[in-house]
Structure 1
Amino acid sequence: MSRCLNNNDILLEISGGGPDQPVGRTVLITQSIINNFPYPAVCTNFLRLMRPVKNISATYLNYYLNKFYLSGEVTNYQGGSNNLRNLKFKEYSKINIPIPSINEQKIIAEKLDLLLAQVQETKSRLEQIPELLKQFRQSVLSDAVSGKLTEEWRESKNLNDWKNGILKDFIKKPSYGTSTKSKKVGSVPVLRMGNLKNGNLDWADLVYTSDQTEIDKYELIAGDVLFNRTNSPELVGKTSIYRGERKAIYAGYLIKIQCLDDLNPEYLNYNLNSPEAKQYCYEVKSDGVSQSNINAQKLGEYPIQIPSLQEQNEIVRRVEQLFAYADKIEQQVNTALEKVNHLPQSILAKAFRGELTAQWRAENVDLITGENSAASLLEKIQVERAQNNKNKKKK
């Protein structure tokens, strides 16, 4: 059999995969794919070329093999290691495939084309929402630090006393964290730059210390704001607030900021995560080979506008409310995505149980009986296969 690819050929992955990726995926070669190559395309040794016999729809067959893969049954036909899996093609080629009449195969393939395209479109739209929510959160923070978020509220309260200055005018002297190497076990966690995520602290992937001298020197108190002074150019300057969740100290790549009485730490945390603060960090960072740095002096020179404590509290309340709304939407989107990701397998299972074409069969009896029946089709396939084997022996 020629290794050059033709329209309606099916390529089966027989070697590759990985720990979380079983081998056995398939792809249907269409004329549009072939037309994209300026030269004849061939099948590599990592793939097995399958060419459906007459009266077998390539699209139908490929959908069934896809369903077989998604079901997880394909793992029963694999060998090799977790890092390199091989498909036992001889055993795999013996799997049972439901074969209706060629007319019904085509109808099933058409229905699957339509339904799975709709699923993919829905999935694509859902996957765009997290980015939109990210932009929404940044817009909220921008409005918060500019005063736009509370403009009407401020006017109703006759509050117009925003103070202009730089950050060091409103905080105690910033301090760097511990440079002592942490351990996998210990009595107190050491927060690192990886624990700062989206303005909050992520308590996963912790390291620890049991050194009491270090704990006494670097112990955090509720309201401390942590600034990531060294990271990649995209992440340097990310900020989170410690709310006293559990006893902890902080590592050397972080700067601890403690607010004076006229600055709400929650407001500062939101401010330092705003687009304006990120732009400032981008402008003042010093770049190394693979990392950027913003020292305490540059941090202290960050230009900042500070409203009254009353308005700061109102800004924090509104931001929390809007972020909670965005979080709820994101949770709903994630739930919907999880369901959508399972839809293809469910649709494919229904298709090959005959559920998608039950009404069609009832309305088109003449197309699935006699010469058009599945039994007649199977007989034709067996005759064709026998003839092919006979021709191979002659060669």
Structure 2
Amino acid sequence: MSEMPRRWTGATIEDVTHYVQRGKSPKYVPHSELPVINQKCVRWSGVDEAHLKYVDPSQWSAWGEERFLRDGDILWNSTGTGTIGRAAIFRGLTTAQRVVADSHVTIVRANGAVLPDYLHRLIQSPSVQSKLDDMQSGSTNQVELSKAEVLATPVPLAPLPEQQRIVAKIDSLTGKSRRAREHLDHIPRLVEKYKQAVLAAAFRGDLTREWRRRYGDIAPVAHEMALQRAELAQKYRQKHYDCNEVFVANGSEPFAVPTAWNWVRAEAICGFITKGTTPHASQLQSGTGDVPFIKVYNLTFDGSLNFTVEPTFVSRSTHEGFLARSRVLPNDVLMNIVGPPLGKVSIVPSDAPEWNINQAIAVFRTIPSVSAAFLAKWLLADDLVQWGVSRSKATAGQSNLTLAICRDLPIPLCSLREQQQITRRIDTAFTWIDRLASEATNAHKLIDHLDQAVLVKAFRGELIPQDPDDEPASVLLDRIRAERGAAPKGNQGRTKQS
């Protein structure tokens, strides 16, 4: 405080308030005409009325007049890990004329030496929030912000007109920050929208249009289908498909594709398509084990796999015995078939050991002339997901893709060389989009740091210039102290803790 501007003075919350008191815990009823503000109600932006509780009418008389909240009261959460230290300015309720606070909230009522908004911003600033750990007492889950600590909180007190200018400047700057956050909050939705636009362009042949013009000797897919059918029959011992079984029926294609492409059924390009099995709970191992057991929440919307969330395993004997049909191999394509949401897809890494999947996941194992990465990208596309959903049976809002639907999924198939080109171009575009999303996340963090820096500068007197005509804060504070000293004995002092 020794570095404060000339017309500022050092004070404490005790100096600048005439009422500091914890609320009372009442007997609650589902509803009454006397609401109670609790910790959940207290937000930096104000009071959230959705979490109000209510006092039993039989106890209304237990609240003295001073306990009813007044416009400008600061409500400071004073207990609870994660909520302690958060504060709001009370500006009245839309649902009631009178309201009280419970015992987890401290009411801080300013005197004329400080503006409520100025004090609220000070409580929000790093100079107070960074010291909360030192101000707390009690066990880990029962931490308390005592009345003594509240009263002793230092207040770098600016002249009253300067307080008004500081609050106005903070509001102006944080308003800009808020608008910036709102724009940044749209980025995740835009990222998904842009990715879907890339996928739509890719599987309509737009991303590789120039590539096809340059390499016009690429054989049409129709000519390659005979080889693919032979591979199916020889490698997987399945039947030969005739054209009616291989290709999607005319008129049911999701959209038009380039001349050299063909719409084919998923079953025609996969060695097999099946789904997993869920074993008995006794056969599952948490944390560590022999064979990873993949569940829906391990799949993602970007083709990767997240096995850091609740990793589950099965024993090797279970994997090779009861769950043999659920076994998946490197480069298998996995898709969740129970939603919402649908459209989560992952590829088993090429260097991964065998895994196991549950019954909410389907596995697609492509034949050698079809790229697993190409299929995985298509399964991520909204066009494919909506096609599957439109044919699924929904129960209580849940869509289930049957194996029949999975085997019938339409695939816009092009030559293997073009599949590889498409996959690379999608990956390049997604990397660029993800980089933008990462930069937006970093920008969000920078805005948070900027807001904190604004508060630090504000309470050092560095945010706005001082006005030499302002009455020094010490003069106003001395006058208030003198008025308090001259008040009748019954009106002197601070209300004691009940």
* Fold in common (TM above 0.5): yes
Specify which of 262, 267, 290 is matched with residue 369 of structure 2.
Answer: 262
Q: Distance in 2 between matches of 1:290 and 1:276?
A: 20
Cα distance, 1:80 vs structure 2: 5.4
Q: After superposition, where does 1:86-235 map in structure 2 within 5 Å?
A: 86-158=144-216, 160-180=259-279, 181-184=283-286, 185-198=288-301, 199-205=303-309, 206-212=311-317, 214-215=319-320, 217=324, 219-230=327-338, 233-235=339-341
Instruction: Confirm or deny: 8 A CA contact 2:184 2:444 kept in the other structure.
Output: yes
Distance 1:165 1:389, change over 3 A: farther
Residue identity over aligned pairs, in percent, reads 25
Q: What is the root-mean-square deviation in Å for CA atoms of aligned residues?
A: 2.7
The CA deviation string for residues 202-257 of structure 1, in whole angstroms up to 9 with x for no partner, is 13132123324615845533321012123xx3223422111224324122222211
**Aligned equivalent of 1:243:** 349
The CA deviation string for residues 137-167 of structure 1, in whole angstroms up to 9 with x for no partner, is 1111122222233233334433531112221
Q: Distance in 2 between matches of 1:365 and 1:317?
A: 66
Q: Give the stretch that moved more between structures: 122-131 or 287-296.
A: 287-296
**Aligned equivalent of 2:442:** 335
**Aligned equivalent of 2:478:** 379
Q: Which has the larger radius of gyration?
A: 2
Task: Report the TM-score when normalising by structure 1.
Answer: 0.86
**Aligned equivalent of 2:489:** 390
Distance 1:212 1:51, change over 3 A: same
Q: Give the stretch that moved more between structures: 262-271 or 39-48.
A: 39-48
Instruction: Confirm or deny: 8 A CA contact 2:87 2:120 kept in the other structure.
Output: yes
Distance 1:69 1:287, change over 3 A: farther
Distance 1:135 1:95, change over 3 A: same
Q: Distance in 1 between matches of 2:400 and 2:406?
A: 11
| Residue 11 of structure 1 pairs with residue 75 of structure 2 | yes
The CA deviation string for residues 307-331 of structure 1, in whole angstroms up to 9 with x for no partner, is 1212211111110010010111112
Instruction: Confirm or deny: 8 A CA contact 2:305 2:346 kept in the other structure.
Output: yes
Cα distance, 1:132 vs structure 2: 0.8
Instruction: Confirm or deny: 8 A CA contact 1:22 1:85 kept in the other structure.
Output: no
Q: Distance in 2 between matches of 1:334 and 1:144?
A: 27
Q: Distance in 1 between matches of 2:83 and 2:139?
A: 11
Cα distance, 1:387 vs structure 2: 4.4
Task: Report the TM-score when normalising by structure 2.
Answer: 0.69
Distance 1:177 1:70, change over 3 A: farther
3-state SS of paired residue (2:100): coil
The CA deviation string for residues 96-135 of structure 1, in whole angstroms up to 9 with x for no partner, is 1111211222222122111222222222222221211111
Q: Partner letter of residue 225 of structure 1? A: V
Cα distance, 1:24 vs structure 2: 2.3
Instruction: Confirm or deny: 8 A CA contact 1:24 1:69 kept in the other structure.
Output: no
Distance 1:215 1:291, change over 3 A: farther
**Aligned equivalent of 1:74:** 132
The CA deviation string for residues 62-110 of structure 1, in whole angstroms up to 9 with x for no partner, is 1101115873322333345655654322322221111121122222212
Q: Distance in 1 between matches of 2:179 and 2:319?
A: 54
| Residue 316 of structure 1 pairs with residue 428 of structure 2 | no
> How many pairs does the alignment contain?
378
Q: Which has the higher strand share?
A: 2
Instruction: Confirm or deny: 8 A CA contact 1:165 1:303 kept in the other structure.
Output: yes
3-state SS of paired residue (1:261): coil
**Aligned equivalent of 2:90:** 29
| Residue 294 of structure 1 pairs with residue 439 of structure 2 | no
Q: Partner letter of residue 179 of structure 1? A: T
Q: Distance in 1 between matches of 2:488 and 2:199?
A: 72
Q: Partner letter of residue 257 of structure 1? A: F
Distance 1:161 1:388, change over 3 A: farther
The CA deviation string for residues 160-218 of structure 1, in whole angstroms up to 9 with x for no partner, is 31112221121122133343332022133222211111211113132123324615845
Structure 1 gap segments, 5+ residues each: none
Q: Partner letter of residue 241 of structure 1? A: I
